[in-house]
Copies of this chain bind each other. A is one copy, B any other.
Amino acid sequence: MIGIFYSGIGGLTEVRALRAARPDLSFVYLGDTARAPYGTKSPETIRRYAEDCADFLVSKGAKAVIIACNTASSLASGHLRARHPELPIFEVVGPAVRAALAASGTKRIGLIGTRATVGSGLYEKLLKAADPSVEVVARHAQLLIALVEEGWVDAPETASVVGKYVAPLREVSVDALILGCTHFPILKAKIAEAMGEGVALIDSAEAVVAEFRATLEADAAFEASLDRGGSASYFVTDPTPAFSAIGSAWLGAPIEVSKADIAS
């Protein structure tokens, strides 16, 4: 069983990508909707929530966990690896960092994310550890999350807000921009327009899926350890009709969503 967690519904994009690639593998998804969003909470609280999520997935038989959320990846991946040393844990920051370094020629790299993700400094630390000559400009773009969640993707106000958020990144002429929040690829066209030509946009969700698939191919023992049967179960901490409806639409088939009984 592969466990995937996210603060809300956004991680279903990773589920969709993985199921398309490997329909034979079994998944369990947890969306911590009762306590979402994570991006405005304190590091301690984010770690506690991530701990609850990982423990729940392990209790459901997960043999590997994908942290689909940038905020939880930035604040809690080290903590979860220490807590579950036997468990392969995949998170979005490392793969996005590697993809950005590969895409950038000038080594001026931009990051937009939640307040918590940018505040953690993890992206900057990993980029500089890989290449000390890299110049990183990181800005939170917190408002974009609400704009996406409210469906204002094509509104002129959203284009204007995007323009203001990315202005400092344009000024220093980054040539790669990490979209460090699962919501942001939904605004990819607007962000690309605001950044201008010649800037590679790095989708952190795509990056972790690519790295997970590469691991499956490279590590036969790991690949063999995962459950077959193609089952998929979906849990949330706060069941709402909206989650089932949007999730079914994204995944192209009706999904049954159950309540996860974790501390909340």
Give A residues with C-beta under 8 Å from B: 33-36, 40-42, 44-45, 142-143, 145-147, 149-150, 152, 156-157, 160-161, 238-240, 263-264
Contact = CB atoms under 8 A, between A and B. Distances in A.
Interface centre among A40, A145, A149 (most CB of B within 10 A): A40
Contacts of A264: 35, 263-264
Nearest to A52: B264
Contact of A147 (B35, B44, B143, B240): B143
22 contacts: A33-B41, A34-B35, A34-B41, A35-B35, A35-B264, A41-B238, A41-B240, A42-B238, A44-B238, A142-B146, A142-B150, A143-B150, A143-B152, A146-B146, A146-B147, A156-B160, A157-B157, A157-B160, A157-B161, A263-B263, A263-B264, A264-B264
B45 A238 contact: yes
Question: What DSSP secondary structure best describes chain A's contact surface?
Answer: loop
A187 to B, nearest CB: 14
Given A34-B45, A156-B160, 5 more contacts: A36-B40, A44-B238, A142-B146, A143-B150, A264-B264
Nearest to A41: B238
Copies per assembly: 2
A75 B34 CA distance: 15
A239 B41 CA distance: 9
Nearest to A159: B157
Contacts of A41: 33-34, 238, 240
Contacts of A150: 142-143
Contacts of A160: 156-157
Closest CB pairs A-B (n = 3): A146-B146, A157-B157, A45-B238
B157 A42 contact: no
Contacts of A44: 238
